[in-house]
């Protein structure tokens, strides 16, 4: 109970939700790449700016609330069809360069969040073992 409350009061729930978002976005981007030559396929993506704004709003709400009363689990990204890219004769709006760039950015964000969570849990583990890092 104490450990759960300790973890949920910090940034771990926020980072966990961001990790879920980057994972879901990566799946969509890979689906887009897999369907590059599929006639009529329309690219999909998750709105990063909207997701980040929802996280900011929730952090603001959490600042004035009692610990553990406001969570992040219900925040998800909304899928949309990007308006950029050329429309090809097969009605596919592919942009290979944009897909690869978005995938690389998303992977870097995912790895950053994993590293931040790892460091946070290592700090907790050291505190519980009464060690100085």
Tens digit of pLDDT for each residue in 12-40? Answer: 888 999 999 999 999 999 999 998 888 88
Domain containing residue 112: 2-82+93-128
The rounded distance, in Å, linking the Cα atoms of 5 and 61 is 18
Cα-based angle 100, 43, 111 (whole degrees, multiple of 5): 40
Whether residue 133 is contained in a domain is answered as: no
- Counting the structural domains of the chain, the total is 1
Q: What is the dihedral of CA 120, 124, 126, 129, to 10 degrees?
A: -160
Whether residue 70 is contained in a domain is answered as: yes
Whether residue 6 is contained in a domain is answered as: yes
Whether residue 117 is contained in a domain is answered as: yes
Whether residue 44 is contained in a domain is answered as: yes
Tens digit of pLDDT for each residue in 85-114? Answer: 555 655 566 678 888 999 999 999 999 999
């Amino acid at each position: 109970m104490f450990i759960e409350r300790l973890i949920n009061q910090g940034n771990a729930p926020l980072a966990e939700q961001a990790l879920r978002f980057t994972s879901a976005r990566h799946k969509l981007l890979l689906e887009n790449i897999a369907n590059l030559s599929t006639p009529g396929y329309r690219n999909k993506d998750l709105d990063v700016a909207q997701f980040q704004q929802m996280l900011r709003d929730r952090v603001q709400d959490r600042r004035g609330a009692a610990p553990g009363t406001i969570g992040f689990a219900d925040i998800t990204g909304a899928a949309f069809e990007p308006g950029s890219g050329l429309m090809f004769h097969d009605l596919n709006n592919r942009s290979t360069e944009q897909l690869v760039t978005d995938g690389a950015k998303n992977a870097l964000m995912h790895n950053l969040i994993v590293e931040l969570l790892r460091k946070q849990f290592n700090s907790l583990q050291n505190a519980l073992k009464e060690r100085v890092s």
